[in-house]
Amino acid sequence: MKRSFADLTAAPDLHEHGEGTGPKRSRRPVYEDLLPPCNNACPAGENIQAWLSLAQAGRHREAWETLVADNPMPAVHGRVCYHPCEDGCNRSYVDNPVSIHAVERFLGDEAIRQGWKIPVPSVFSGKRVLVVGGGPSGLSAAYHLTRLGHRVEIYEAGPIAGGMMHFGIPAYRLPRHILEAEIRRIEEMGVVIRLHHKVEDILKEKQAGGFDAVFVAVGAHIGRKTDIPARDAGQILDAVRFLRDVELGNPPQIGRRVAIYGGGNTAMDAARTAKRLGVGEALIIYRRDREHMPAHDFEAEEALSEGVKIHWLRSIKEITGTSVTVEIIRLENGRPVPTGELETLEADALILALGQDTDTAFLQHVPGIKFGDDGTVEVGPDMMTGHKGIFAGGDMVPSERTVTVAVGHGKKGRPVYRRLFARRQV
């Protein structure tokens, strides 16, 4: 096979592949117009093969334009998205998946470097939309609505837009100048962001601002608690508050030894951040084993390589002063079973990283809106709540409903779905 210098990876030996493409087929393929597995897995619904082929041809600007037709923040996603697109890549049957997120990051960075802008329709649709919450879901909704010709204002409770991209994901994984550049580009399209504006009464705000519709994306910021008997315990913090305080430049006093309770990516971020604050020991305590932890394996790997310790198969029973009593757990069919065997370890502070809940109390009085047991807001396939004209998305709606929104119709009249931002496992 002739190799082109522009190939993204080395040409594979097609005689050696396991399954999928190549000459060793035993069945005749039937072609159907379906989503490729990478696109299907992408939470932002990107047309990956389209922008990859443009990038491969060196047409970087067009590749970026195709990419941002779906996802306004490629430099952010190219860094922090867990790239499920690559798990779905057909090329993995041949050698390795295409490094999609690395190309995405390159295009995102190139756009920032070159100052590429998003074209905005010159004709105003006549509709005004209020977006509540300036996290990735709200920003993405504002971006797509603006591209459709609507006027959008974001009301954001915090001092800066970005939501958990700013106050959750640590700066060592997502440099702030990159995040700010991609948010600025959305503002330059005409999206107005009002900071320090917490929405308490959505119907009143909608009426006062003369908005035709509202998209609510307030995320999930309430750190989950657990009942641990604690006597004279030192600092007990929740991970989201801890990361937020560090980001705001007010890191709490956590002493020399810190224990982090939980096995998700947030636990890894909290432990790695504690290490960067200079603690001598950051110890993650998690009740299942590595195979069953919700954190991505690479995040645990990076944490371990930075000196974070992980105590698998342990749950916290009690805290007295700086003594943390933990119980050893064994797994039965993946389920944790307490053994009654106890150990003691020392920690000056305990950070709880047990997941987050959403604060949707301010929507409780709105007629028609329905809630799940966990406080998430129920929405239909069009992301509208039970109240006409009020939509919701992002971490505040159940995961299976978060992502898809129909934006038009495909060749055969089937709806084409775009995704706003998926929930991740915590």
- Joined together, the tokens standing for residue 168 give 């959750």
Cα distance between the two ends of the chain: 45
Q: Which two tokens stand for residue 416?
A: 């084409």
Tokens of 275: 């290490």
Interface pick for ligand SF4 out of 84, 252, 255, 386 (rule CB under 6 A): 84
77 binds ligand SF4 (CB under 6 A): yes
Interface ranges with ligand FAD (CB under 6 A)? 80-82, 132-138, 155-158, 163-165, 168-169, 198-199, 217-219, 221, 240, 243, 265-266, 269, 362, 394-395, 421, 423-424
* Helix/strand/coil for 339: strand
DSSP characters over 116-145: ------SS--S-EEEEE--SHHHHHHHHHH
Cβ neighbours for 332, distance < 8 A, ≥ 6 positions apart: none
Joined tokens for residue 255: 């002493």
Cβ proximity to ligand FAD, 132 vs 319, nearer residue: 132
Toward ligand FAD, which CB reaches closer, 292 or 424?
424
Q: How far is the CB of 204 from ligand SF4 (least distance, A)?
A: 36
Amino acid at 386: G
Contacted entry of ligand SF4, ligand FAD, none for residue 46, CB cut-off 5 to 8 Å set by kind: ligand SF4
Give the phi and the psi of residue 301 in degrees, each rounded to 5: -60, -45
Neighbours of 128 (CB within 10 A): 17
Binds 185, which of ligand FAD, ligand SF4, none (CB < 5 to 8 A, cut-off by type)? none
Please answer whether residues 157 and 187 qualify as being in contact, where contact means their C-beta atoms are separated by less than 8 angstroms. no
Query: Which region among 79-87, 114-122, 139-147, 200-208 touches ligand SF4 (by CB under 6 A)?
Result: 79-87
> Least distance (Å) from ligand SF4 to the CB of residue 90?
14
Q: Which of the listed partners (ligand SF4, ligand FAD, none) does 101 bind, with a CB threshold of 5 to 8 Å by partner kind?
A: ligand SF4
| Partner touching 44 among ligand FAD, ligand SF4, none, CB below 5 to 8 Å by kind | ligand SF4
Helix (H) / strand (E) element for 405: namely strand 404-409
Cα 372 to Cα 124, 350, 384, distances in angstroms: 37, 30, 15
Structure tokens at 214: 């509202």
The answer to whether residues 77 and 104 touch, using CB atoms and an 8 Å cutoff, is: yes
Q: Which lies closer to ligand FAD via its Cβ, residue 52 or residue 169?
A: 169
State which residue, 153 or 327, has the beta carbon closest to ligand FAD. 153
Question: Is residue 161 a contact residue for ligand SF4 (CB under 6 A)?
Answer: no
Write each residue from 337 to 366 as x if it is in contact with ligand SF4 (CB under 6 A), else as -, in one continuous string.
------------------------------
- Here's the x/- map for ligand SF4, 88-107, by CB under 6 A: it reads as ------------xx--x---
Nearest distance from C-beta of residue 82 to ligand SF4, angstroms: 7
**Separation of alpha carbons 167 and 154, rounded Å:** 18
Q: Is 178 helix (H, G, I), strand (E, B) or coil?
A: helix
Among the candidate windows 56-64, 81-89, 335-343, 369-377, which touches ligand SF4 by CB under 6 A? 81-89
Determine, following the binding rule CB under 6 A, whether residue 329 of this chain makes contact with ligand SF4: no
What radius of gyration, in Å, describes the C-alpha atoms of the chain?
A: 24
Taking CB within 5 to 8 Å according to partner kind, which of ligand FAD, ligand SF4, none is near residue 182? none
Q: Residue 243, Cα to own-chain centre: how many angstroms?
A: 16
Residue 79 or 314 with smaller CB distance to ligand SF4: 79
Footprint of ligand SF4 (CB under 6 A): 42-44, 46, 48, 71, 77, 81, 83-85, 100-101, 104
